């Protein structure tokens, strides 16, 4: 039985734009289990990314609480949230957001050395992870701008994993990649999840969504529907149909 990793209670997020209040998340009560590959889907403006960044401590909710295991994070200061993120979360962004002025290896170590002073151990782990995602030694010393999109995203995944986070947040990780690179990135994420890594991913892409075992569909700031697909197995046609039916039902 999986443990509840993140739980929200009446989670709300509003923005004020030109004096008009916009309620992006509305009283969300949600539980995400440890070890799940949770996919958040929905149309544009549904609040997918807002929810994911609120859950990750990157943004603060307007109202409500977020409990991460036993820790309430919604009221933490910005610096405490930064420490929370470095210890518990890994991030994979659509635009990768690697530091252009650092080599690939340094990008990963910059995150790793925030948590551990054991330079040797962190370097060894970084190299091991890089090799695991198929990035050869040749590109470790290259700068992000010298890499292809797929390579850069895989490097970003390694950066997200370097501190052995309890959860990896991925925001449209294949959005900026061609299909081959996108598949390679999804394979890495699926493999990670199969080894117990919790993943929360926001996506528009059906192929990507299919990799998750639990699909949350958002509309107008609320969870409109949930679909449990079970563990991903390559070539599972039934899974694809089930997801498509769910999405059709949701009006996607």
For other proteins, the binding residues (CB under 8 A) are 49, 53, 58-59, 78-79, 82-83, 85-87, 91, 93, 97-103, 105-106, 109-111, 113-115, 119, 123, 126, 141, 143, 145, 159, 163, 171
Residue 162 and residue 190: Cα distance in Å, rounded?
17
Q: Residue 77 or residue 179: which is nearer to other proteins going by CB? A: 77
List beta partners, residue 214: 38, 228
Q: Residue 7 or residue 115: which is nearer to other proteins going by CB? A: 115
Q: Residue 97 or residue 232: which is nearer to other proteins going by CB? A: 97
Q: Give min distance, CB of 239 to other proteins, in A.
A: 30
Residue 163 and residue 104: Cα distance in Å, rounded?
16
Q: Residue 71 or residue 228: which is nearer to other proteins going by CB? A: 71
Q: Give min distance, CB of 198 to other proteins, in A.
A: 18
Q: Give min distance, CB of 162 to other proteins, in A.
A: 9
List beta partners, residue 23: 14
Is 115 in contact with 87 (CB distance < 8 Å)?
A: yes
Residue 228 and residue 213: Cα distance in Å, rounded?
6
Is 111 in contact with 159 (CB distance < 8 Å)?
A: yes
Tell me if residue 100 falls in helix, strand or coil.
coil
Q: What is the dihedral of CA 203, 206, 209, 213, to 10 degrees?
A: 160
Q: Give min distance, CB of 59 to other proteins, in A.
A: 4
Sheet holding 214-219, edge to edge: 89-92, 167-171, 198-202, 37-42, 214-219, 222-228
Q: Residue 190 or residue 208: which is nearer to other proteins going by CB? A: 208
Q: Give min distance, CB of 244 to other proteins, in A.
A: 29
Q: Residue 111 or residue 216: which is nearer to other proteins going by CB? A: 111
Q: Give min distance, CB of 142 to other proteins, in A.
A: 9
Q: 138: number of CA atoms within 13 Å, CB side?
A: 5
């Amino acid at each position: 039985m999986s443990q509840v990793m993140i739980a929200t209670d009446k989670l709300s997020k509003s923005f004020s734009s030109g004096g008009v209040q916009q309620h992006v998340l509305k009283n969300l009560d949600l539980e995400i289990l440890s070890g799940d590959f949770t996919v958040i889907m929905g149309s544009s403006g549904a609040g997918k990314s807002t929810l994911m960044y609120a859950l990750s401590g990157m943004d603060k909710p307007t109202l409500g609480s977020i409990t991460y295991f036993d820790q309430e994070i919604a009221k933490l200061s910005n610096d405490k949230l930064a420490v929370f993120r470095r210890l518990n979360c890994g991030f994979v962004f659509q635009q990768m957001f690697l530091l252009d002025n650092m080599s690939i290896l340094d990008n990963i170590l910059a995150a790793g050395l925030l948590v551990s002073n054991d330079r040797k151990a962190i370097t060894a782990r970084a190299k091991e992870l890089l090799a695991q995602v198929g990035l050869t030694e040749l590109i470790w010393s290259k700068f992000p701008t010298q890499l292809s999109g797929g390579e850069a995203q895989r490097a970003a995944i390694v950066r997200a994993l370097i501190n052995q986070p309890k959860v990896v947040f991925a925001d449209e990780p294949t959005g900026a990649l061609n299909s081959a690179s996108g598949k390679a990135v999804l394979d890495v994420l699926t493999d990670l999840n199969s080894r117990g890594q919790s993943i929360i991913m926001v996506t528009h892409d059906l192929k990507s969504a299919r990799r998750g075992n639990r699909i949350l569909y958002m509309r107008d700031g609320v969870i409109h529907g949930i679909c449990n697909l079970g563990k991903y197995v390559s070539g599972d046609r039934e899974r694809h149909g089930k997801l498509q039916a769910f999405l059709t039902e949701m009006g996607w």
